[in-house]
Amino acid sequence: MSRLIVVSNRVSVPQAMGAAGAQGGLSVALSAALREHRGIWFGWSGKETESFTGHLDMQRNQDVTTATIDLEPQDIDEYYNGYANRTLWPLFHYRIDLTEYDRSFGEGYERVNARFADSVLPLIEPEDLVWVHDYHLLPLGAMLRDKGVTNRMGLFLHIPWPPTRLFVSLPNHEQLVESMLQYDLIGFQTEEWLDSFTHYIKKEAGLKVDADGLIQYGDRRIRACAFPIGIDYEEFVDSAWSDVAVEGCKRLKESLGHGRKMLIGVDRLDYSKGLGERFDSFGRFLTDNPEMAKDVVLLQIAPPSREDVESYQLIRHDLERKAGHINGAHADVAWVPIRYVNRGYPREELAGFYRAADIGLVTPLRDGMNLVAKEYVAAQDESDPGVLILSRFAGAAPQMPDAVLVNPHSTEEVSDAIRLALHMPLAERRRRHQALLQSVRESDVVHWREAFVRALEGPIAEIGRDAA
């Protein structure tokens, strides 16, 4: 079996996994992939250094070697807070209104990708497969090719790929996509994001995509495919029935008071997750259903993220204001409708909280996949499961048609869905849950990793490599 060199912006040392706090979906998924694969995980340590040295901090934990570099403050500013999180993230989540185009961001992005390429190069052996992750590192493959790397290289994008008409607003979009065509395999979360990419390739780049889905770029053939990511199902179910989870579930249920139902939302505090719209919808539900209002509580867990970026500070203020407003309008002495908590929880405790909730409210405005929806399903008690309300605009939606699918922009629709879910008979809850559980179990992270690595090793990727 070939060794795997995984490259991502941040690296999580595997032993710390059990105590995951507000860990992003990417690191949760990769930890599971690396637990079984020999190889090296390379990326930024998350630490700052006064001036870049390229020093590699190598560690070995549970058969996984991690190698990290520190970055300069200017790198973090321009590459991470700048191009990645002020330019690409909003644009790829269709938020052109929040997208900032600043030449220094683009320069920082190029510089850091070049630093990644220089630093990871000595770690790559001839037979290794190189698997690069996400929007932080789109040009890395091309930079490695320039340094003579002929290995098979794949890219997996964890976030959506935007429609062509939005994407072309990015200065230098042509060069960015051209650099991506140095990978042999490009993976997307869903057919929808893949279609958007293929549309750009045909209509803007003027390239041919053959009947097998291979992009023809000069002598190269590049495979672009959808590989929907999943959760580590076995691990999550174990967590969900651990003592910590059972205790967390019990404690939360007791805190609600007799007969009261709970809705749960768990998200990084990010504008793509639709938290403001979710609060508005819940407020609408309370107003439209006064007879039920005092019997429900929304628990929203949202640890802050990317706090150096202004749009994240603004959304935080906006949500505090909304929660305060709704609570002020509806609460009474013994009941507050929204419990809004800005911190992360260990996975086991979180799994218990999911099970305590009668409704999982997962309503992103746009999301590459969304693992919270899958975790909510996996944590339920099969004999008395809760109902998943899921945004149509989450990448998970096509795989989860038995959720109550909603348009998160419509407060009426979400409010109606909450009412429907609260009244849903047990038999229907069970039927929907069984169907969802089957999809979460079958499309888990192991399946995802194997499918991607198989495609990267397979004959299609070979065509790309031979032509490189």
Residue 120 Cβ vs ligand ADQ, minimum distance, rounded to whole Å:
21
DSSP state of 383: T
Q: Any contact of residue 25 with ligand ADQ (CB under 6 A)?
A: yes
Taking CB under 6 A as the binding criterion, the range among 33-41, 173-181, 203-211, 364-372 that sits at the site for ligand ADQ is: 364-372
Candidates 168, 127, 171; CA nearest to 149 is 127
Residue 444 appears among annotated catalytic residues: no
Nearest by Cα to 380 from 235, 233, 250, 237: 237
In the bound complex, what is the minimum distance in angstroms from residue 406's beta carbon to ligand ADQ? Answer: 17
DSSP state of 304: B
Candidate list 158, 232, 267, 402, residue with the active-site label:
158
Binders of ligand ADQ: how many residues, by CB under 6 A? Answer: 27
Residue 345 binds to ligand ADQ (criterion: CB under 6 A): yes
The least distance separating ligand ADQ from the CB of residue 55, rounded to whole angstroms, comes to 29
Member of 37, 152, 221, 268 binding ligand ADQ (CB under 6 A): 268
Sites for ligand ADQ among residues 295-324 (CB under 6 A): 301, 303
| Dist. CA 414–CA 361, nearest whole Å | 9
Cα angle value 74/78/83 (rounded, 5°)? 165
Residue 180 lies near ligand ADQ (rule: CB under 6 A)? no
Residue with the two structure tokens 């996996």: 378
Q: Return the SS3 of 358.
A: coil
**Interface with ligand ADQ includes 393 (CB under 6 A)?**
no
CB of 435 to ligand ADQ, least distance (A): 20
Reference 370, options 397, 350, 345, 388; nearest CA is: 397
Least distance in angstroms from the C-beta of 211 to ligand ADQ: 29
In this chain, which of 4, 7, 22, 69 binds ligand ADQ, going by CB under 6 A? Answer: 22
Return the number of the residue (89 or 217) whose C-beta is nearest ligand ADQ: 89
Identify the H or E element spanning 46.
Answer: strand 39-48
At 394, phi and psi to the nearest 5?
-85, 145
Please pick, from the candidates 39, 82, 187, 344, the single residue that binds ligand ADQ as defined by CB under 6 A. 344
Task: Provide the token pair at 70.
Answer: 């520190």
Q: Could you say whether residue 181 binds ligand ADQ (CB under 6 A)?
A: no
When the beta carbons of 135 and 285 are compared against ligand ADQ, the nearer one is 135
Paired residues of 67 in beta bridges: 42, 58
348 interacts with ligand ADQ by CB under 6 A? no
Residue from 184, 348, 375, 444 touching ligand ADQ (CB under 6 A): that is: 375
Those residues whose C-beta lies under 8 Å from the C-beta of residue 134, and which sit 6 or more positions away, are: 8, 9, 26, 156, 157, 158, 159
From 88, 263, 350, 417, residue interacting with ligand ADQ (rule: CB under 6 A): 350
Q: For residues 388 and 327, what is the distance between their CA atoms, to the nearest angstrom?
A: 24
Our CA angle for 458, 137, 25, nearest 5°, is 80
Catalytic residue of the set 367, 402, 416, 444: 367
For the stretch 361-394, what's the b/e string if a residue is b when 16 or more beta carbons lie within 10 angstroms of its beta carbon?
A: bbbbbbbbbbbbbbbbbbbbeeeebbbbbbbebb
* 266 binds ligand ADQ, rule: CB under 6 A: yes
The reply on whether position 158 binds ligand ADQ by CB under 6 A is: yes
* Closer residue to ligand ADQ (CB): 370 or 380: 370
158 tagged catalytic: yes
**Exactly one of 5, 6, 26, 403 binds ligand ADQ (CB under 6 A); which one?**
26
When asked if residue 378 is in the footprint of ligand ADQ (CB under 6 A), the reply is no
237 exposure class (CB count in 10 Å sphere: 0-12, 13-18, 19+)? middle
Question: Which of 71, 120, 194, 229 lies at the binding interface for ligand ADQ (CB under 6 A)?
Answer: 229
Q: Is the dihedral of CA 305, 310, 313, 314 positive or negative?
A: negative
Query: Residue 29, interface with ligand ADQ (CB under 6 A)?
Result: yes
Tokens for 339? Answer: 């419990």
3-state secondary structure 418-434: HHHHHHCCHHHHHHHHH
> Interface with ligand ADQ includes 452 (CB under 6 A)?
no
Diameter of the chain by CA atoms? 71
For the annotated catalytic residues, the residue numbers are: 158, 367
**What residues make contact with ligand ADQ under the rule CB under 6 A?**
21-26, 28-29, 158-159, 229, 266-268, 301, 303, 344-345, 350, 367-372, 375, 395
